[in-house]
Amino acid sequence: MDKIKECVNCGAAISAEDAECPYCHYMQYDAAEARYMDTLESMNDSMGSLDRNTRKIARKDIVKSVLITLAAAAVFAGIGSLSGIVHEKTDSYYYGEKSRIVKGLDWYDANADALDKAYEDKDFAGIYKIINADSKGPYYSILHNWEHYDIYQIYTGSYDRFEQYMTDEDRDGQYVFETLYRNAISTLEIEYKKDSAASKLYARCSDDEKKIVDGWLANVKKFLKDDAGLTEEQCRADYNDLYSSGYMDYSKSSEYAQKYYNAKGGTQ
Ligand SMILES: [Zn+2]
């Protein structure tokens, strides 16, 4: 412990660098601010691989949200010293919010390299694992700043399940076939429904990312053609039919899948 100071709440001797009193858990505003700014700095370093404009936008966005939270906390810390009641309510809220931001930044800092590496390897299942490994995460507000988050969202829309079931050893089973069919049709949304969320994400993807998504579309089309025996026109007709209400008609999709499964000689 280098520099010692008094906790602004309970008066205990704590490190000047403690953002939170280890005894009463009261936030130490000065130290917290310094720590958040340091974290932002180190996050900025880890964003080095992003292109200049992306980095600028991402950093501006994060700094803005952190500064707003800090400013709000400063105001309420002031009010807090006047009224114990307000103090107790507001401080815990803003501490929670700031803590969420800083944890997200820490998480990003610790995982950004692994995320980039998994993207380079085109290992989207690996990206999913990294993002969902922390039970307190995932930190979506921070993830929005990751360069490849748009394509990752496309992946988790439907294609993740298609990919997963394609590697199933029991690929010939009816249940697996049905899941593949449903998620293949659902993935085609990117191509068939131009105002869908997936299409909008696709439009924001880089050329390299678009090539990856085009590969996913080719994979689901190959399955629908070779395994389900559908022409391109039939795929489009099924899509329109199953999504006529806006959401996938689950029981109808089972019915169709069963029909195609039986037609190709599968047994129940
Ligand atoms: Zn204390």
How far, in Å, are 74, 192, 246, 253 from residue 240 at the CA level?
A: 54, 9, 9, 12
Q: What pLDDT is attached to residue 85?
A: 37
Residues with CB under 5 A from ligand 1 (ion): 7, 9-10, 12, 21, 23-24, 26
Mean pLDDT of 20-28: 82
Q: Report how far ligand 1's centroid is from the alpha carbon of 28 (Å).
A: 9
Please give the structure tokens belonging to residue 50: 């992003």
Q: Report how far ligand 1's centroid is from the alpha carbon of 192 (Å).
A: 59
> Residue 253 pLDDT more than 60?
yes
pLDDT digits (tens, 9 = 90+) for 181-233: 999 999 999 999 999 999 999 999 999 999 999 999 999 999 999 999 999 99
Q: How far is 218 from 222, CA to CA, in rounded Å?
A: 6
Q: Report how far ligand 1's centroid is from the alpha carbon of 27 (Å).
A: 8
Q: What is the DSSP letter of 227?
A: I
Q: What is the DSSP letter of 121?
A: T
pLDDT digits (tens, 9 = 90+) for 167-195: 887 777 899 999 999 999 999 999 999 99
Q: Report how far ligand 1's centroid is from the alpha carbon of 33 (Å).
A: 17
The more confident residue out of 234 and 39 is: 234
Q: Report how far ligand 1's centroid is from the alpha carbon of 72 (Å).
A: 21
Q: Which amino acid is at 75?
A: V
Where do the structural domains in the chain lie, given as residue ranges?
Answer: 4-111, 150-263
pTM: 0.66
> Residue 77 pLDDT more than 80?
no
